[in-house]
Structure 1
Amino acid sequence: MAIYEITADSLQELTETSYAKVGVKERHDLQRLLRIQVDVISPDTLVIAEEFGEWTEGSRRIDLLGVDKAANLVVIELKRTEDGGHMELQAIRYAAMVSAMTFDRAVEVFSGYLKKIGKESDAHEALLEHLDWSEPDEDRFAQDVRIILASAEFSKELTTAVLWLNDRDLDIRCMRMKPYRYGEKILVDVQQIVPLPEASTYTVQIREKERQERKDRAERYTIRKRFWTRLLEYAHSKTDLHANIAPTDRYEIGTGAGMAGLRYHYKITQHTSFIDLYIDRGVGSQNENKQIFDALFSHKEQIESVVGEPVDWRRLDNNRASRIKLEIEGGYRDDETEWPQTIEKLVDAMIQFDKALSPYVAQLKSGG
């Protein structure tokens, strides 16, 4: 988009130019000016280092390193090139390198920077004041690293990569700083183009929601695997039916029921559990599956008598498979002190389930 000067008679388009044409240098001009006025591209940020490159390996340097009000580190990379080059990849490497920085280390870096620019300030107190902290809090410091990319323009490849990375929990912003000539003056149009400012709040909310969902999924998987581990430990002491089952993070575990296509399953939800016999002999087996179900259903009274309670018989006429199911109260989100009771009920019910069904499954297998 062009920039126009409003005159009495017309809109006069300003001449777009390049930093090279007007003699503006990335490091000595742009970087120097942004170091002093970093809020132009990164509000509420305190610059603590310039040309920072104190790595254990490598010689590359971060143009500007800052700390925002939320105590996150901010890596700022500047480019005079027309499309930003590959600055996103470079900045990600830098972000990884500084991600383990502690508050005390940040104070050391900041102190060296203040001396370099000839400013007599207490780095420790200045950083605490910026963060509005009364004392250092290492648990809150540098929990994340934000990235600011500033360039006259960005290629489609770069912005596409940044959008993809942001969808995966990185926080990268592209600030376009396009130069214009206005008579003898050089103007800069500063625009945040990724993410779009009007979408930033929504994007942050969506990202936080997705982050929480991933956390919840990871937690759920961990809890379920712990539940199955404890169930199998108990089951192995009661029967050899589960000898070949390993713990998993899924909502179900299963084992063969003595005939191909028939499997016993344990299934758990947050507060309810199930055991079932799942009948599915494979592709094209719908009629056979229903015949197996009907044969077992013909012994309903005898089976339920052994199980000790009514069973949920699901022929599922519109599906290929059929199920015979029993619901158990209790799930993996219940207090872990209640797990032993739920596990005992599940395993004991499965033993009775197999005892009730296996004679009739054996008849089916032998063709009886």
Structure 2
Amino acid sequence: MIAKIERVPLREVWPHEAYDFTQWLEENIDVLSDAIDRNIVNVEREKKTESTFSVDLVGEDEAGSAIIIENQLEKSNHDHLGKLITYLTAMQANTAVWIVAEPRPEHVAALAWLNESTNADFFLLKLEAIRIENSPPAPLLTLIVGPSEEGKSIGRSKAEMSERDHERLRFWTQLIEHPNAKLHAHTTPGRHTWQGVSSGIIRGVSFNYAVSKGGAQAEVYIDRGKDMNDENLQIFDQLYAKKDAIEEAFGGSLTWERLEGRRACRISAKVGGGFRDPETTWAATHDRMTDAMNRLVNAVRPHLKAVKILDGGGEMGGVNSETLG
């Protein structure tokens, strides 16, 4: 016969958090060691920090690094989360363990974020007391959140992405303030790889700046929308038919990317220099980008006005004859 597990109220097992549960955990630290797969030794109770705060338990791992343990025989709250972080900092610990009766979703997310975003390791465990039939109650610690190499790797990637976003924002801010960037001067700098404005002649055709870690360009970007590749190709092909005239007006060769089967087509002037180059070189890169953009606009704009777009029935449509003035 198989017996059923019965949950026992925590306060029936440990009436007082500090005097009963924390003392019990100090004497049975191996239960926690097994739950987080860390060997915790040299455990001390009610350890005082320099700020007179009192940590429930402080232990060490096998390398001698401090492990902070905070207990809460109730639903997790912001106060204990703040204490956990404060104690970790005050004790110069590398690991923090938070044991709660009921972990709230926002605290689960917070510790997962801390594991990704910091060098410390954070554990969140749910504590229950169980018995089988008339057996004595036993602790059940369930790991809810813990560190992982995958999580740390994700955190490093996010940090790198955030750094790139801030670099691109500075790059675009300086570019649109350039005296020759008049066409884009009214745009709001962003964190993306491109900064663009509508051509004002054909919907879906824009004049974009684009930048990568090591390259930059001015481009005509043709994107009429999802599933509109046929119209993109019509516009591209009519411009490509004027390739010699456009490149002569531009004053050099351009890169023509038809990109059949893709969402967009592109005509670009590559100028070199990227947002990961030293910031002291950005001004020269912006000089080249704005010069290329102004020449590209002047070379392409007259031919955009002559573009004809045919729908599936061979009818004209989709052209806005408004000019840039």
**Structure 1 SS opposite 2:191:** coil
Shift of 1:339: 2.2
Distance 1:342 1:325 in 2: 16
Shift of 1:326: 2.5
Shift of 1:95: 2.1
1:209 equivalent in alignment to 2:153: yes
Counterpart of 2:310 in structure 1 is none
> Residues 22 and 312 (structure 1 numbering): CA distance in 2 closer, same or farther, change over 3 Å?
closer
List per-residue Cα deviations over 1:200-219 (Å, max 9, x = no partner). Answer: 6xx52112111111111111
Distance 2:5 2:242 in 1: 89
Does the 8 Å CA contact 2:193/2:212 hold for their aligned counterparts?
yes
Which stretch shifts more, 303-312 or 206-215?
A: 303-312
Counterpart of 1:123 in structure 2 is none
> Residues 252 and 239 (structure 1 numbering): CA distance in 2 closer, same or farther, change over 3 Å?
closer
> Residues 102 and 172 (structure 1 numbering): CA distance in 2 closer, same or farther, change over 3 Å?
closer
Distance 1:320 1:186 in 2: 66
Distance 2:190 2:99 in 1: 43
Distance 2:148 2:16 in 1: 31
> Residues 231 and 186 (structure 1 numbering): CA distance in 2 closer, same or farther, change over 3 Å?
same
1:96 equivalent in alignment to 2:46: no
Letter in 1 for 2:165: Y
Aligned ranges for residues 11-160 of structure 1 at < 5 Å? 18=8, 25-27=15-17, 28-35=19-26, 38=29, 40-41=31-32, 43-44=40-41, 46-47=43-44, 49=46, 64-66=56-58, 70-71=65-66, 73-77=68-72, 79=73, 86-87=74-75, 89-90=76-77, 92-97=78-83, 99-100=85-86, 141=92, 146-149=96-99, 158=103
List per-residue Cα deviations over 1:141-196 (Å, max 9, x = no partner). Answer: 26x77233166xx7xxx59777655543352332656466999x9574x5653159
Distance 1:193 1:298 in 2: 68
Aligned ranges for residues 252-291 of structure 1 at < 5 Å? 252-259=194-201, 260-282=203-225, 285-291=228-234
Does the 8 Å CA contact 1:304/1:311 hold for their aligned counterparts?
yes
Counterpart of 1:169 in structure 2 is 114
Does the 8 Å CA contact 1:173/1:192 hold for their aligned counterparts?
no
Shift of 1:35: 4.0
Does the 8 Å CA contact 1:174/1:194 hold for their aligned counterparts?
yes
Distance 2:236 2:5 in 1: 80
Letter in 1 for 2:97: I
Letter in 2 for 1:25: P
List per-residue Cα deviations over 1:280-328 (Å, max 9, x = no partner). Answer: 3346754443332222222211211232322122233324532212333
Does the 8 Å CA contact 2:68/2:88 hold for their aligned counterparts?
no
Structure 2 counterpart of 1:354, from 284, 297, 301: 297
Instruction: Give the percent of matched residue pairs that are identical in Structure 1 and Structure 2.
Output: 22
> Residues 275 and 51 (structure 1 numbering): CA distance in 2 closer, same or farther, change over 3 Å?
same
Letter in 1 for 2:168: R
Does the 8 Å CA contact 1:274/1:328 hold for their aligned counterparts?
yes
> Residues 175 and 39 (structure 1 numbering): CA distance in 2 closer, same or farther, change over 3 Å?
farther
> Residues 34 and 299 (structure 1 numbering): CA distance in 2 closer, same or farther, change over 3 Å?
same
**Structure 1 SS opposite 2:217:** strand
Letter in 1 for 2:46: A
Counterpart of 1:220 in structure 2 is 164
Distance 1:22 1:361 in 2: 80
Does the 8 Å CA contact 2:10/2:128 hold for their aligned counterparts?
no
1:229 equivalent in alignment to 2:173: yes
- The Cα RMSD (Å) is 4.1
Shift of 1:227: 1.0
Distance 2:255 2:241 in 1: 14
Query: Any unmatched runs of 5+ in structure 2?
Result: 34-39, 116-121, 308-319
> Residues 21 and 173 (structure 1 numbering): CA distance in 2 closer, same or farther, change over 3 Å?
closer
Distance 1:239 1:19 in 2: 69
> Residues 159 and 255 (structure 1 numbering): CA distance in 2 closer, same or farther, change over 3 Å?
closer
> Residues 366 and 75 (structure 1 numbering): CA distance in 2 closer, same or farther, change over 3 Å?
same
> Residues 17 and 309 (structure 1 numbering): CA distance in 2 closer, same or farther, change over 3 Å?
closer
Does the 8 Å CA contact 1:244/1:255 hold for their aligned counterparts?
no
TM-score (norm 2): 0.71
> Residues 16 and 322 (structure 1 numbering): CA distance in 2 closer, same or farther, change over 3 Å?
closer
Shift of 1:220: 0.8
List per-residue Cα deviations over 1:28-63 (Å, max 9, x = no partner). Answer: 4333232455464262475462899x99xxxxx988
Shift of 1:65: 4.8
List per-residue Cα deviations over 1:245-302 (Å, max 9, x = no partner). Answer: 2211111110122313210111111112232111233467544433322222222112
> Residues 99 and 145 (structure 1 numbering): CA distance in 2 closer, same or farther, change over 3 Å?
farther
